[in-house]
Structure 1
Amino acid sequence: MEQHKIIKWGILGCGKIAHKFAEDLTTITNAKLHAVGSRDIQKAKNFASKYDADFYYGSYMQLSNDVEIDVVYIATPHVFHYENTLMCLTHKKAVLCEKPLAMNSFQVKEMIKTAKKNEVFLMEALWTYFLPHYEYVLDLIESKELGVIRSLKADFGFMTNFDATSRIFNKQLGGGSLLDVGIYPLFAALSILGYPDKVEAKATIGKTGVDETCSIGLHYNNGITASLFSAITKKTSTEATIELENGIININSRFHEPTSITIYQDGKSKVYEFPVDTNGYSYEATHVNQMLLQNRTESTIMTFDKSLELINLLDTVREKIGLYY
């Protein structure tokens, strides 16, 4: 692609996260929301009007048939990621698909295979990887300034009123804490420690058959451990704490989104702020634009291998807790 080209985006699905993403897209100079697709034409029309999209469609297929679109952001519930992504890829559309990329490793492998076959870009939208505070933490760990890691603790829990029909509690829609929010502590462990040698997990399965809480222990042959927790029925601090030889890094509340970090060393603490002027989705969208302008079909950061590792780990945890979709 020409380096000065405006990347034309399509958004598939008009839920809460799609609104945040569309809002951030308006802040990127070489990005334009070209079209939005929903199964509800009125929703699509309202969304298009709000974010100045040129076109709106009452079906996902119509969106994927729009020849002007360079890349589609898929913001539908987990269970639809696989079919929505395959449809866009086979229509030669690059895809940024919300996490989790799919429901299991079989689906993820098929998606990657289809992207390669059609020679189009595909990336899992794990926005945390691209946020300034998280990049800083990864660089600090890699520098060994605080020595080697001893342990990691991360949680993500929120309290929501029980509603059997809501996406969060509905098994048919891939509900439960693990795929919705537990993916973030698992991602933190993978990106900071790598793939574990042993996995332990237990969960509280609610009346709709989904995990309402999930506790995960990861063990590494070098003695490092990770203690992870997720919940949809309990609010937690939603922090990530990395203990190292010579200090502690705490990624403060809501560690997965733009936030601050506190470093504890030699009896002192220092807070580092990372102010951002968007919702935070602009960073991953900017990265996708760069990848497309470089004619890449795979992210240099959120690679296919990383998505495969993440889904394999999710599959392993689900097996341990007896959660089958």
Structure 2
Amino acid sequence: MDKVIRWGILGTGQIARALAFALQEVAGAKLVAVASRGSAGADKFGREFGVGRCHASYQALADDPDVDVIYIATPHAMHAENTLMCLNGGKHVLCEKAFAMNRREAAEMVDLARHKQLFLMEAMWSRFLPAIGEVRRIIDSGEIGKVAQIQSDFGFTAPEVGPLHRLLNPALGGGALLDIGIYPLSLSAFFLGPVAAVQAVAEMGPTGVDLQTAFSLLHRDGGVSSCVCSIRAQSPSDMTIAGPLGHIRIHNRFFQAQTLSVETLDGNARTVEFPHIGSGYAYEVVEVMRCLRAGLIESPLMPHAETLALMGVLDTIRAQIGLAYGADQVRP
């Protein structure tokens, strides 16, 4: 049996809990440590998930000698600082998306991981779902011809959150773009290839972050994508991938893909179900562990170069819509 891989989770919020449940679903994964900014949060999380070591600081987790890989589950604005700390502690890292606040931060993270020969991956969990793998297989088979366009939307409403909530607070990387716009952007690039150009418009909110953003992508190898993200509209969250011979539709919350349909010009149509394990986060855990056991420092499905390229696209979109963060100021 392969060696058990010991996980730590940095942060104790909702996404941290989702990853903790996912670790229970993967053979060979063991959650051994958790860290919060104080003992109360860490201890509560530890009791819920049976975690042996509950650290009252993030640094203590980074320094824990009995942890192999750390999942960064803090808000966007803390990703770079937390990742660099863990890498300097000799830990492999799975960092929640959006990977960083900007490309400059992302490059610092990747450079350090490469220098230390440690694994680092953006937690774009949707890429590892079975249904997404099937979409790639269908595209590669030529069944719908060379993909020419992708349309996708991701929208939800959060009417009760205040200006200090992470969704609206610029100090925490608030706004629709970094929180959920990365999903249609990342999957569009996954299916159509690198982005050559982008045009964006947005509705900005009173705190200075985007409430909803629409952006169109021109892909380097041909094809266009149309993407919308919103935190003030409950959208279907579908994705349609079309070529000259037909189209694929990922239904209802494409980022959690479980149902897809294929229709072709010759009249053939089918719907396929891909129920996934739990919430679906287990598949990225499996990929991290596969890479660690193979001695890789990046995943071929979510490589460093693509993470950096997509962070650059996000920077361009933000410049076009006037969305700036404190992290954009170059440090002396």
The corresponding residue for 2:275 is: 275
The corresponding residue for 1:11 is: 9
The corresponding residue for 2:294 is: 294
The answer to whether the 8 A contact 1:147-1:246 is kept is yes
The corresponding residue for 1:80 is: 78
Q: CA RMSD in A?
A: 1.3
Write out per-residue CA displacement over residues 191-230 of structure 1, whole angstroms, 9 at most, x where no aligned residue.
1111233211000010000000101011246662211100
Query: 1:276 Cα deviation (Å)?
Result: 1.6
Matched position secondary structure for 2:95: strand
1:131-170 paired onto structure 2 within 5 Å: 131-161=129-159, 162-170=161-169
The corresponding residue for 1:117 is: 115
Alignment of 1:128 with 2:109, yes or no, is no
Distance 1:205 1:187 in 2: 22
Q: What are structure 2's unaligned runs of at least 5 residues? A: 326-332
The answer to whether the 8 A contact 1:26-1:51 is kept is no
The corresponding residue for 1:192 is: 191
Structure 1 letter corresponding to 2:319: E
Distance 2:311 2:123 in 1: 13
After TM superposition, the structure 1 stretch with the greater mean CA deviation from structure 2, 214-223 or 117-126, is: 214-223
The answer to whether the 8 A contact 2:251-2:257 is kept is no
The answer to whether the 8 A contact 2:2-2:28 is kept is yes
Query: 1:232 Cα deviation (Å)?
Result: 0.4
Query: 1:54 Cα deviation (Å)?
Result: 1.4
Matched position secondary structure for 2:110: helix
Query: 1:259 Cα deviation (Å)?
Result: 1.7
- Count of residues in correspondence between the two structures: 323
The corresponding residue for 1:260 is: 259
The answer to whether the 8 A contact 2:193-2:221 is kept is no
Distance 1:121 1:29 in 2: 20
Matched position secondary structure for 2:32: strand
Write out per-residue CA displacement over residues 127-154 of structure 1, whole angstroms, 9 at most, x where no aligned residue.
0110000011011111112211121101
Write out per-residue CA displacement over residues 11-64 of structure 1, whole angstroms, 9 at most, x where no aligned residue.
000110111110010111111001000013112112112112111011101111
Q: What are structure 1's unaligned runs of at least 5 residues? A: none
Matched position secondary structure for 2:300: coil
Matched position secondary structure for 2:276: coil
Distance 2:43 2:221 in 1: 55
The answer to whether the 8 A contact 1:213-1:233 is kept is yes
Matched position secondary structure for 2:86: helix
Distance 2:190 2:221 in 1: 17
The answer to whether the 8 A contact 2:193-2:220 is kept is no
Distance 1:34 1:59 in 2: 15
Structure 2 letter corresponding to 1:254: R
Distance 2:152 2:129 in 1: 17
The corresponding residue for 2:237 is: 238
Structure 2 letter corresponding to 1:256: F
TM-score (norm 1): 0.96
Distance 2:283 2:248 in 1: 23
The answer to whether the 8 A contact 1:92-1:120 is kept is yes
After TM superposition, the structure 1 stretch with the greater mean CA deviation from structure 2, 262-271 or 207-216, is: 262-271
Write out per-residue CA displacement over residues 88-140 of structure 1, whole angstroms, 9 at most, x where no aligned residue.
00010000000111011111111011111111111110001100000110111
The corresponding residue for 1:175 is: 174
Query: 1:258 Cα deviation (Å)?
Result: 3.8
The answer to whether the 8 A contact 2:23-2:285 is kept is yes
The answer to whether the 8 A contact 2:70-2:94 is kept is yes
Distance 1:189 1:287 in 2: 21
Distance 1:268 1:208 in 2: 49
The corresponding residue for 1:316 is: 316
TM-score (norm 2): 0.94
The corresponding residue for 2:202 is: 203
The corresponding residue for 2:330 is: none
Distance 1:31 1:149 in 2: 37
